[in-house]
Amino acid sequence: DYIKEKIIEIGRPKAEMVKDLLKKHGDDVIQDVTLGQVLTGMKGMVSLLTCTSKLDAEEGIRFRGYSIPQLQELLPKVKKEGEPLPEGLFYLMLTGELPTKEDVNQISEQWAQRSQGIPPHVFDVINALPKDAHPMIQFNTAILAMSTESQFRKAYLTGMDKKDYWGPTYEGVMDLISRLPVIAAYIYRRVFHNEQYIDIDPSHDWAANLAHMMGHDTEEVHRLMRLYMMIHADHEGGNVSAHATHLVGSALSNPYYSFSAGMNGLAGPLHGMANQNVMHWIHKMMREIGSENPTESQIKEYAEMTLKKGQVIPGYGHAVLRKTDPRFTVQLEFAKKYAPNAPLIQMVDKIYNVVPGLLTQTGKVKNPWPNVDAISGSLLSSFGITEYPIYTVLFGVSRSLGVLTQLIWDRLYGLPIERPKSQNLKWFVDKVNYQ
């Protein structure tokens, strides 16, 4: 596997640098921490080493330095006018270099092959759950059930050198990423399509295969799925799914345990579940207003009511971003190009016209602009994937690309167990001489 060779070549000197940096500058002060930061979710506190991507409050995500529009130009595609292949983004996050078409093909083939290895008990475990168990419960249960295959655990027990931990981690990560679309599609077909399952097509790329196995085997859904899988892949290290994966991984838990932790976090309504909740919010609004095509002033009134009830407007706001999320914008552009008359996209536009103003008026929301989830569900729905409880699962399949790549780097760097200090309320009170 030449990708593995490449990782050693790039990773070893970086790992040495981390050690040396620590030795020479371990006591240097890099930032002051305020009480406010600790009590509001550690926002802005630099406390993680993440190399796969970086989030700027104004311009949004960059993967290894490249913005989404740049990657749309630079990453290999199936067709010139199409969307980049997520395999290419994975390669970029893993190695820091832009892939060739050949690198991407090699990953597509490897993943199609590795996807065949899901042990039968994983499907038994899914089947043992009630069909109305939320798809994220089924997804995460399957991920944990797959950890029986962990190569890391076996290698650890045989007693390997720490320096080599990244190797079996890489194998586990490749297996896991390859198998997630199969699991996601299985759950989708089980819950929403009468258990009519569709086999993988090894000639397809990873994202197209997911669409194919879900039963949405058209070129336009392949294209949409590639876009979706690219933009949800990573959002630097501190978001709940990335941080949870890293944290649990720091105990040397295998990639399945680690990723499962991240997915439990993604299932929260303030994080990945927001994409489903946006659809829930829109449909409830249409029902309550009694129209599929409410006016902007009706939407405004409904949104005001949501705020009055002390609830959040899903799809808006962000812990880091302070402008419209470029992941929202790229989806809106895609929609305007390929589904300009879709009613749900027009609805997204109308909501976009009224909600930021309302959130600004509250005086407390730090970012009144839409995030990735404000449109992703409406876009999927407009292309026929209308069963919105599956949306967070699709987010999760994509998120594996970034957080599991970082897990390989955690092992390459030899990062230790994470263990921040906690204090009780009295300590904080005394520290600031609170009267």
**240-249 vs 255-266: helix axis angle to the nearest 10?**
150
Query: 222 or 300: whose CB is closer to ligand AMX?
Result: 300
Active site includes 271? yes
Catalytic residue among 243, 271, 325, 410: 271
Tell me the closest approach of the beta carbon of residue 433 to ligand AMX, in angstroms.
25
What is the radius of gyration, based on Cα positions, of the chain?
22
**C-beta of residue 413 within 8 angstroms of C-beta of residue 280:** no
Residue found under tokens 């299985």: 186
Tell me the closest approach of the beta carbon of residue 94 to ligand AMX, in angstroms.
23
**C-beta of residue 112 within 8 angstroms of C-beta of residue 200:** yes
State the residues that interact with ligand AMX by CB under 6 A.
270-272, 274, 307, 312-319, 359, 364-367, 371-373
Q: Which residue is nearest to ligand AMX (CB)?
A: 317
Tell me the closest approach of the beta carbon of residue 179 to ligand AMX, in angstroms.
23
Strands in 64-196 per DSSP E? 66-67
Catalytic residue among 103, 205, 325, 373: 373
Query: 75 or 274: whose CB is closer to ligand AMX?
Result: 274
Short-list 290, 285, 250, CA closest to 403: 250
Measured torsion, CA atoms of residues 21, 50, 34, 370, in degrees rounded to the nearest 10: 160
- The 3-class secondary structure across 258-269, one letter per residue, is HHHHHHHHHCCC
In a 3-state reduction of DSSP, which class is residue 51? coil
Tell me the closest approach of the beta carbon of residue 314 to ligand AMX, in angstroms.
5
Tell me the closest approach of the beta carbon of residue 110 to ligand AMX, in angstroms.
29
In a 3-state reduction of DSSP, which class is residue 84? strand
Tell me the closest approach of the beta carbon of residue 313 to ligand AMX, in angstroms.
4
Catalytic residue among 212, 235, 318, 410: 318
Helix (H) or strand (E) holding 23: helix 2-25
Query: 209 or 239: whose CB is closer to ligand AMX?
Result: 239
Query: 13 or 36: whose CB is closer to ligand AMX?
Result: 36
Residue found under tokens 């297996």: 175
**C-beta of residue 174 within 8 angstroms of C-beta of residue 111:** yes
Tell me the closest approach of the beta carbon of residue 365 to ligand AMX, in angstroms.
4
Tell me the closest approach of the beta carbon of residue 39 to ligand AMX, in angstroms.
11
Tell me the closest approach of the beta carbon of residue 270 to ligand AMX, in angstroms.
4
Q: Is 340 exposed, middle or buried (0-12, 13-18, 19+ CB in 10 A)?
A: exposed
Active site includes 373? yes
Query: 289 or 307: whose CB is closer to ligand AMX?
Result: 307
Say how far apart CA 241 and CA 400 lie, in whole Å.
9
Query: 172 or 368: whose CB is closer to ligand AMX?
Result: 368
Q: Is 266 exposed, middle or buried (0-12, 13-18, 19+ CB in 10 A)?
A: buried
Measured torsion, CA atoms of residues 268, 424, 46, 238, in degrees rounded to the nearest 10: -10
Residue 198 pairs in a beta bridge with: none
Query: 78 or 274: whose CB is closer to ligand AMX?
Result: 274
Say how far apart CA 78 and CA 234 lie, in whole Å.
22
Say how far apart CA 242 and CA 266 lie, in whole Å.
9
Query: 181 or 314: whose CB is closer to ligand AMX?
Result: 314
Say how far apart CA 381 and CA 355 lie, in whole Å.
21
Task: Count how many residues are written for the chain.
Answer: 435
Query: 172 or 389: whose CB is closer to ligand AMX?
Result: 389
Tokens representing 201 are 């097509």
Tokens representing 21 are 């940096």
In a 3-state reduction of DSSP, which class is residue 378? helix
Active site amino acids: 271, 318, 373
